[in-house]
Structure 1
Amino acid sequence: MPARKRNRNRVTSKPKAVSLTYKIQKQDGRLVQVCRAAFLGIVGVKKDRILRLAKTFMYTGKTPKENRGEDHVKDKKEKKLSLKTFIESLKCTENHYFRSDTPYRVYLPCDLNIRKLWKMYNDQADTNVKVKHCFFRNYFNKNYDVGFGTPQTDICSTCLQYKDKIKRCN
């Protein structure tokens, strides 16, 4: 005796809304109809993904838009341009000891750091071009060769003269 009885007169399943045919393009350009198992094995995707694509195409007439991997930062070009003008407006000094080794390396005062620069930028920036700290840090590190504080391994005569002048003024 069966565990459950079912009424064979009643139709319980819905009729199929759509029937799919699976075709693969051969090297000579001809399309060959294959079964679903072969199609899924060749393409390397699961059945549900194919059915979702077919259903979306049937209702909208378009394939669904891929949302993965998109850059979610809005107005990125405008923000980068604003960051560029801000960073290039900063007063930098050269390292006069090793100019030939690092000709493009410049230095900001030692009391600054990236977080302080980011706060200064966001304080003066409009609301539509304000950025997060990680965005500022990545842009700053990738596009500029800027250090903080002048390296003072030993002091040259020019530096000594300037320090003496500063001390005499006080």
Structure 2
Amino acid sequence: MSNVTECVDSDASDNTPLINLTRKRKSFGRVQDAAKKIRNHTNTPLINLTRKRKSFGRVQDAAKKIRNHTYETDNQRKDIITRFNKLHDRNEQNNHLCGLIGIQNIKRRRPRRHEAEANLRDNSFVYKVRVLNEVTGLFKEVQICQLAFNNLHGITNRRVVTLKKHLKSGGFCRDKRGTHLNRPHKLTKDRLESIHKHINSFKGRKSHYSLKDSTRIYLPESLNMKKMHQMYVERSPSVKPVSYETYRNNFLKDFNIGTDTCSSCDATKVKVESLESKLRLVQSGTEGEAKLKADLKRVEAEAKLHKLRAATFYIRKRIQKKKRKSNDYEGITMDYCKNLPTPNKTTNDVYYKRQLTFISFNIHVLSSNQSVFYTYPQTIAKKRS
């Protein structure tokens, strides 16, 4: 009996469509967090940390964009984006944008390939904006290019492609995000409750040194997000634990919790509680009661003064943050450098003789990263004089 080998067409198997079973991941991740950190610590223009996207890449498009933008003044451009952002929801915005995009038939074709091989467009599109005439108070439509259309409305090219697709089919571009029921990776109610139950199990405390009433709850300073998630995984055997990102997002979204500690406030709080407990035990009208009341009043005054100083510090800190983003202020650091002995020789005799000290004072400009040095010998002045 001969062996029969079944031959399988490799091309047919390779062309079989594969279904992507992985969950949809975020496009940007934590780029917003990194951008916020850079924005708070520098006054330089923010660098785009996202993936570099493909531009139109033609000088003609850039020149056309400049020509189109010269039709409107700054106030008119602000009016366009303000009216667009005031629309109720995304569906109203799509309806507004579809009214500004016109569809036309192709008037002339100049394909470089044969029509059977070339990927020819079915239609062409024109883009307009409604500009308010500041003199007459009437709106007029100005035709612009797609790049200027995207920039004036603050939208992406992907959104415009979606609008054009619905215009060609004759349907309304309705936002269907969150309306479908097929969500296999949706966070279930039990898993969400397990996150909330675990976070609520931590014994927090309210701020005891803030001058204003706050609903913020403070956790111990030894806790961090990573440790909390590890504790959640250990204490959730019955429910499938969520990932660190999901735990972190729910913590930041649904809870008003912070971490804080102040040794001075903790010591003051203990003193106040101790004096109050002693006052409850001492007899009224005695010298001991008067002394305890005076001590309690003094400690409470010190605590109030400490809170006022802390509030003043945070006010100054906020002011400095605003100044850091302004071009009207400059930050510098000043310090003395290492003393340089003169002359600089390698012989041992130098250690037995007195040398001349050469002093250098450095002023460092933080914005430009430049340094200015002031140098002088010991015979002119001493250090820090």
TM-score of the superposed pair, with normalisation by structure 1? 0.49
Higher strand proportion (structure 1 or 2) = 2
More RCO (CA 8 Å, sep 6+):
1
User: Could you say which structure has the larger radius of gyration?
Assistant: 2
TM-score of the superposed pair, with normalisation by structure 2? 0.24
